[in-house]
Amino acid sequence: MKKERLFYLDFIRAISTLIIVITHYNAVFFWGRTPGTELWSKLVTPKDVFNLYIGNLGVSLFFIISGAAMMYVYGQKDKIDLKTFFKKRFMSLYPMFWLAYIACFLYLFYVNKGFSTSVPYWRFIFTVIGFDGYLSTFTSTFYLLGEWFLGCIVLIYLVMPFLIKAVKKKPLLTFVISLIVYILLVLFYNLPLPISVVIFTRLPEVIFGMLFVAYIKKVKVAYLLPSLAVLVLNTVLAPHINDSFQTTYVGIATFLVLVFISQFFKFAVAENICSEIGKYSYAIFLVHHQVISQITSKFNLDTLTRGNSYVLFLLCLSVTFIFSKILFDTEKYLMSHVFRK
């Protein structure tokens, strides 16, 4: 029996997707540029919200809803069939990623009139398994689309059956252990891989999402007011706390506030919009980088007005959605008609 969709997950997934697209559009104007310059005035939203980089907030929300969604689907099962679980996760990630990568590579090959790289060819294996973006955070790979989040979510899926079992049997202990490991890592981490992509620093967000679906379920005033206080105080006081810590507690507080707000948007139009964005969110995640890069490269950003920047963003957003739908529909057709058993 198909489970009823949780609207607040679609609602937050849609917001998170929009945040990620906005983040990478804004980055065109501020990445590698002097803070406070004229280009910074053309961002479509502030670079930071609640004293946190807006991109970090979007990613945090994605991790939370990923844990929540997995727990909602598998938390009621007495036993998870590992073969079926991993096959579904594999099919949900890799075929669309490979298809998008091939299309992107061929397009760039044509535009650049060839292909040249100093990256050792053996590293293409990282692309095949979806870790090129993840590893590109500290070394050279054949990374073209998507981002580090893909590799991290693959790692999380690998341990997800264990996490579901642990959360069901020892929910509080599981969360506390994840917090202890997370805190120790943030305080003492000293490796070349950015700490934000290390799976153990994302588990508190994932496990919180799982706990929410399994045990909390609704956001009452008792949860809402402290969450709002966290966001307000973090904005007003702007504490110099480690970004990893801020990302986690601001992400969780924002999630709780959005769950509460979502009940006021639970009507047909909003449900359809959020459902559609959620449906194509992975495809959007895969293509938006290149769409934004290719479109904005055709404009002189120095002479672009603030108003035109908003129009340009809407253009990038529209084209991203169009290509996402094409990618989604193509992958679905190939899987059901060409590669079916």
pLDDT of 151 reads 95
Structure tokens at 130: 């979806």
pLDDT, mean of residues 243-269: 96
pLDDT, mean of residues 25-36: 77
pLDDT, mean of residues 37-54: 88
pLDDT, mean of residues 56-80: 94
The structural domains of the chain, with segments of one domain joined by +, span 7-338
pLDDT, mean of residues 131-141: 93
pLDDT, mean of residues 210-224: 94
pLDDT, mean of residues 320-331: 97
pLDDT of 36 reads 58
What is the maximum span of the chain, computed from C-alpha positions, in angstroms?
A: 61
pLDDT of 341 reads 52
SS (H, E, C) 95-112: HHHHHHHHHHHHHHHHHC
pLDDT of 231 reads 98
pLDDT of 2 reads 62
User: 40 or 120, which is more confident?
Assistant: 120
Residue 291 neighbours by CB under 8 Å, 6+ apart: 316, 319, 320, 323
pTM of the model: 0.94
- Model pLDDT for residues 182-206, shown as the tens digit of each residue: 999 999 999 888 999 999 999 999 9
Q: Is the pLDDT of residue 135 over 60?
A: yes
For the chain, what percentages of helix, strand and coil (3-state, to nearest 5) are there?
75, 0, 25
Residue 113 CB neighbours (<10 A): 6
Q: Is the pLDDT of residue 73 over 90?
A: yes
Question: With bands split at pLDDT 50, 70 and 90, how would you rate the model's confidence at 337?
Answer: confident
- Residue 12, Cβ density class (10 Å: 0-12 exposed, 13-18 middle, ≥19 buried): buried
Question: With bands split at pLDDT 50, 70 and 90, how would you rate the model's confidence at 157?
Answer: very high
* CA distances to 106, 130, 174, 204, 290 from 109, in Å: 5, 20, 48, 41, 13
Angle 113-119-123 from CA coordinates, rounded to 5°: 115
